[in-house]
Amino acid sequence: MNRIKKNNLSVAILLMATYFLGTSCSSNQEKISMEINKGWQFSEVSANDWHPATVPGEVHTDLLKNKMIPDPFYRDNEKKLVWIEKKDWEYKTTFDVSPEFLKKENNLLVFDGLDTYATVYINGIEILNANNMFRQWSADVKQNLKAEKNELRIVFKSAQNVVDSLAKKDLPYVIPDNPRCYVRKAQYHFGWDWGPKFTTCGIWKAVRLEAYNEKEAEEEYKAPHKYELVQEKDTAGTSFYFKIDDKAVYMKGANYIPSDAFLSRMTNAEYDKVIATAKDANMNMLRIWGGGIYESDYFYDLCDKNGIYVWQDFMFAGTMVPGDKDFFDNVREEVKYQVKRLRHHPSIVVWCGNNEIDEAFKNWGWQKQFKMNKKDSIKLWDDYKRLFQDSIPKWVKEVDPHRPYVSSSPLFGWGKKESITQGDSHYWGIWWGTEDIEVAHKKTGRFVSEYGMQAMPNYSSIEKITLEEDRKLYSDVLKAHQKAGKGFTKLNTYIHRYFKDTTNVKTWSVKDYTYYTQCLQHYSFKNIIGIQRSKEPYNMGTLLWQLNDCWPVASWSITDYYNRQPKAAWYAVKEAYRDDVKPTIDKVRPIELKLENPQITFKVEGNNITLKAAKDAKYVWVDIKGYTGRLSDNYFDLKAGEEKTIEIQTQISKPQITITSLFDVLSRTK
């Protein structure tokens, strides 16, 4: 670029900066904004038993901070806290406003997030009824405010009681598979096969007052990039891949669920940790799963900054939907609000209507399970098509005409041959179908947007949530932290095939069992990713299930809930997603190896641990007691006579280090 062009560009940038800075200053002079985040209290409705509350927050975390309940994640406390979701709760605070505020023509009370059925009162006067966790709610309070001691009170109805009532009211008509379908609330709050059932309520996002004379004009929206989802017929079926600015991109990543059962705990620092686990594992895409939430602006800012593309589901997962006008109107406002809020993020490359509802209705046996008659079945499918194939794409296009939209992920279940030849694929023959891991050679789809293998949480997490007496396989407490149907049975099936005869599994220590499951998950992801990537360009994407956990649990996550520490599989994924090295695929299974005692020695120098083995070692696990950081590598293989140095993120004095290899655990588990 020549000097004249450079100078012109510099001037243009300076002028634009001056313009936007000027606009911002002018806007700030016109508009007054005041957060209402102090002095909150909460009580069970009608109990008049008030305690300090934190806003943003939720009732469970407020009860915990006031020592009114035990840690919900500890042992089997989850089932002891079901009573909370059956109660109605209320929150209140008082605030003053300045004379300048009251002089403005418009005084608006704005809620960025109310969870979920909420009635709002200012100075005893009802001003707002909310029924959607995913919408921003506001009310003109000009006539309700005074200069001092305004009381703001919010009454939350039990979402569980409401949906149970709505489902009962509809009988004998049944909407599969759960009454949660009636409410616009994070669906995972009602429990999932990796999550607890804490059906929360509360003020989960910011509350503020805004005063202004004239409403600002909406900023003109401009497809930060050119996004294209290419679905073209070819000799094998139909392609499914993304073009970004006319360049085909192979997507390597994971599915993302909410990172906490209690959303207010997710600080920016926590998001930094989570996105770092994706970035450092060489991922370039996260799929925001439809049973959680539309994430915070900061989350998407991090994705923008770190070059991580986002597949964004709308918040529907695994249930059919009501077809009444009120429900559709509610969803329309949700979709328009969220798309307008998020559309400026260049990381978002596709909007998706829902998670697995299309394939569920066709393949999961709901018609038989719920004894649907033909008329109800037709109505359910018509309502589904009307929302996801007609309405949502139209609403999206009105506010974001540039990004692609798909109605459901996937269109074909993993048992259908089409799931391998067209569209995106959730391939669960491995795990749910207990097929061999090697089946991926024949069952890799065009874009695999879900697949996975379970593992126990890190043993340090098991110690944190259990007593010594709980650390026995199949104890009630361990079963409370294994939500998947026949989860232990499936884990044992795969351990038996790939690592060790499990006939005497009940005699194993939980620590050794945990080690086996984590090595199994490591082996699974290493090989499945290697196979899928070897099939490029037939396959153009691999998104493993899942990146993260929302509490300590046996799950498909490759990171642990506490401190976002890696599980063994994270290190396998990091290696398998590298672009500079071709992924390796194991031929000889670990159970077929003839291992000898590796006699591993190590030395510590500063932040480095250097290891050496006398014999070949598999799955070398370096465990540092009490360490909450990340190691540069772990669960690695070590060749006889070779040295390997791994780095500790943060130096600790006198580290207590334990080295474990597969030989050691095989020797202990007879």
- Residue pair 92/152 in contact (Cβ under 8 Å)? The answer is yes
166 by Cβ neighbours in 10 Å (0-12 / 13-18 / 19+) ranks as middle
- Residue pair 446/452 in contact (Cβ under 8 Å)? The answer is no
Question: Looking at residue 29, what is its pLDDT?
Answer: 57
Same domain? 168 vs 255: no
Together in a domain, 156 and 65: yes
CATH number, domain of 356, equals 3.20.20.80
For residue 195, is it within any domain? yes
Q: H helices then E strands: how many in the chain?
A: 19, 31
Contact of 52 with 37, CB cutoff 8 Å = no
- 73 shares its domain with 137: yes
On whether both 171 and 263 belong to a single domain, the answer is no
Residue from 185, 192, 200, 257 nearest 72 by CA: 200
Residues 404, 525, single domain; the answer is: yes
Residues 278-318 have pLDDT tens digits of 999 999 999 999 999 999 999 999 999 999 999 999 999 99
Q: End of a domain among 191, 212, 233?
A: 212
Question: How many domains does one find in the chain?
Answer: 3
Neighbouring CB atoms inside 10 A of 228's CB total 19
For 457, which DSSP code? P
Residue 23: the pLDDT is 31
Tokens coding 204: 């989960």
User: Omega of the bond prior to 367 within 30 degrees of 0, cis?
Assistant: no
Residue 535 lies in a domain: yes
Is residue 583 in a domain?
no
User: 391: which DSSP letter?
Assistant: I
- DSSP secondary structure, 593-618, as one string: --------EEEEETTEEEEEBSS-EE
pLDDT of residue 652: 83
Q: Are residues 530 and 627 in the same domain?
A: no
Residue 647 is assigned to a structural domain of this protein: yes
- On whether both 176 and 285 belong to a single domain, the answer is no
Same domain, 558 and 606: no
Per residue, what are the HEC states of 13-79?
HHHHHHHHHHHHHHHHHHCEEEECCCCCEEEECCCCCCEECCCCCCHHHHHHHCCCCCCCCCCCHHH
Name every residue whose Cβ is closer than 8 Å to that of residue 100 and which is 6 or more positions away in sequence. 32, 211
Which residue, of 541, 576, 611, is where some domain finishes?
A: 576
> How far apart, in whole angstroms, are the C-alpha atoms of residue 471 and residue 360?
37
CB 638 within 8 A of CB 617: yes
- Regions of the chain short of the pLDDT cut 70: 1-29
Q: Does 566 share its domain with 622?
A: no
Q: What is the spatial distance between Cα 616 and Cα 233, in angstroms, rounded to a whole number?
A: 48
Is 313 found in the same domain as 171?
no
DSSP-assigned beta bridge partners for residue 18: none
Instruction: Please check whether residues 539 and 628 belong to one and the same domain.
Output: no
Residues with Cβ < 8 Å from 575, sequence gap 6 or more? 526, 581, 583
Let me know if residue 434 belongs to a domain.
yes
Q: What is the CATH number of the domain that holds 139?
A: 2.60.120.260
Spatial CA neighbour of 566 closest among 580, 553, 547 = 547
Q: Closest by alpha carbon to 209, among 146, 155, 148, 140? A: 140
Q: What is the CATH number of the domain that holds 605?
A: 2.60.40.10
- Residues facing residue 163 across a β-bridge: none
Q: What is the pLDDT of residue 588?
A: 79
Q: Examine the domain organization and report whether 563 and 603 are in the same domain.
A: no
- Give the residue from 576, 602, 632 where a domain finishes: 576
Segment 570-625, tens digit of pLDDT = 999 999 999 998 889 999 799 999 999 999 999 999 899 999 999 999 999 999 99
In a domain, 166, yes or no: yes
| Residue 118, pLDDT score | 98
For residues 111 and 138, give the distance between their C-alpha atoms in angstroms, rounded to a whole number.
6
Tell whether 411 is covered by a domain. Answer: yes
Q: What are the b/e assignments for 237-252, b being 16+ CB within 10 Å?
A: bebbbbeeeeeebbbb
Q: Which residues have a Cβ under 8 Å from the Cβ of 648 and sit 6 or more positions away?
A: 607, 608, 609, 624, 627, 629, 631, 655
Degrees, nearest 5: CA angle 345-339-295: 65
Residue span of the structural domain in which 151 resides:
33-212
Closest CA to 629 of 654, 652, 660: 652
Please tell me the predicted confidence (pLDDT) of residue 219: 76
Render pLDDT for 314-349 as a digit per residue (tens, 0 to 9): 999 999 999 999 999 999 999 999 999 999 999 999
pTM of this structure:
0.93
The answer to the question of residue 587 being in a domain is: no
